[in-house]
Amino acid sequence: MGFVTFWYILIAVLWTGFFVLEGFDLGVGMLHGRVGRDEAGRRAVINTIGPLWDGNEVWLIVAGAALFAAFPDWYATMFSGMYLAMVLLLGALIIRGVSFEYRGKSQDGRWRRTWSRALTIGSLLVPLLIGIALGDLLAGLPIDASHEYTGTFWTLFQPYGVMTGVMLVAVCVLHGAAFIAMKTTDEVRNRAWRTARRIAPVSMLAVLAWISWTHVESGGGAFLNLIELIGCIAVIAAVWEARSDREGWTFSLTTVTIASCVVTLFTDLYPNVMISSTNPAYSLTVHNAASPAYSLKVMTVIAVVLLPVVLAYQAWTYYVFRRRVSAQQFRPAVAAPAPPAPRAPAPQETSAVPTASQGGKTWKQRRWTPW
């Protein structure tokens, strides 16, 4: 295997890792208001990804950096042609990240609702915009002989690209619902399962339709290839497991579903990296867009040494923060009721009782205590 093919596979792995890991916390961000309901529930849902979300976003940064270093022409054409879309994506990522920190800076209900909406919208836009961008790579964009993008911002919204974005949003929601159910307790967990059961058929239809469209778009034969078949089986099984309330299996199957979809896209795209709708001869490929061989060789050594370290550290992080989160942790403490004050002794009263020896004419005093 040459260095060019190795780096194409590595970039596909980085994008797959981003959607598998960032996918569930994007789903959590979209669902935290619906599943959490009250403030304690929303805080519990957000805290399931509190120690993890920023580490998961590193995969996106590394994927972009690897694209820049290994395939500079691909990076230049893609990022310049999708410049406005990338700005919107960057804005969504910033708003989403800021919302985690700012929503707890005030106890005001309006303040927290505003940042909760920002978290929901940012979490929705990220998979939608990235999905549109990745789908456009396979669908084709107007690129001239100089590898310059000649379309407009609205050219990016092709039907296949939009379908890719919608599919990723639907799968991230199911992925996130399964993760919330796996990491919470009591009523929050029950609401997450009800949401998972409702969204599961929608996600299944979106994945099956997208895989069928991708198979046709890439010029596949009469039968699905192995990766596409795995994606179809995984999403159908995920629906079954969601109805059976088995969060571990559901989360594992949605992981396989997302990974299969991303790998399918990059597999069907190879050896192209950006298809030109103007003329297929103008398409960018792994060979005409790659860096020199020596640069790829040096980067390969660095990646082989450092990538296992990063994976081990992230696995350790997930192990440390593996416990479930309960909404009760975020409810205000209820003060114990004060002990009742001691009752004052009842006043002593007297009753006059006549004596028999005096014929009832005189009275003898004796004390008594009322009941």
Tell which phi-psi region holds residue 370, choosing left (phi > 0), alpha (psi between -120 and 50) or beta. Answer: beta
DSSP string, 207-256: HHHHHHHHHHHTT--SS--HHHHHHHHHHHHHHHHHHTT-HHHHHHHHHH
pLDDT in tens, 22-33: 999 999 999 999
Task: Look at 339 and 25; give whichever has higher pLDDT.
Answer: 25
H runs (alpha helix) in 71-108: 72-81, 83-102
Beta partners for 285? Answer: 272
- Answer CATH for 3-330 from 1.20.1630.10, 1.10.1380.10, 3.40.50.720, 3.40.50.920: 1.20.1630.10
Per-residue confidence band for 349, with pLDDT thresholds at 50, 70 and 90: low
Measured between alpha carbons, how far is 316 from 337 in angstroms, rounded to an integer?
43
Q: How far is CA 297 from CA 13, 44, 65, 302, 311, in A?
A: 18, 46, 16, 9, 21
What residue spans define the domains of the chain? 3-330
CA dist., res. 89 & res. 332, Å (int): 37
The rounded distance, in Å, linking the Cα atoms of 213 and 205 is: 12
pLDDT digits (tens, 9 = 90+) for 15-55: 999 999 999 999 999 999 999 888 899 999 999 998 889 88
Supply the pTM of this predicted model: 0.87
pLDDT for 244 equals: 86
C-alpha–C-alpha distance, residues 223 and 277, integer Å: 26
Query: Is residue 350 exposed (0-12), middle (13-18) or buried (19+ Cβ within 10 Å)?
Result: exposed
The dihedral of CA 69, 290, 213, 151: what is its sign? positive
For residue range 112-159, what is the model confidence (pLDDT) as tens digits?
999 999 999 999 999 999 999 999 999 999 999 999 999 999 999 999
Mean predicted lDDT score pLDDT of the chain: 89
Residue 261's beta-bridge partner residues? none
What are the φ and ψ backbone dihedral angles of 349, each rounded to 5 degrees?
A: -115, 165
Q: Which two tokens stand for residue 186?
A: 């009591």
% of the chain with per-residue pLDDT over 90: 73
What's 359's DSSP letter?
Answer: T
Q: What is the pLDDT of residues 170-197, one digit of tens each?
A: 999 999 999 999 999 989 999 999 999 9
Would you call the peptide bond into 271 cis, given omega within 30 degrees of 0 as the criterion? yes
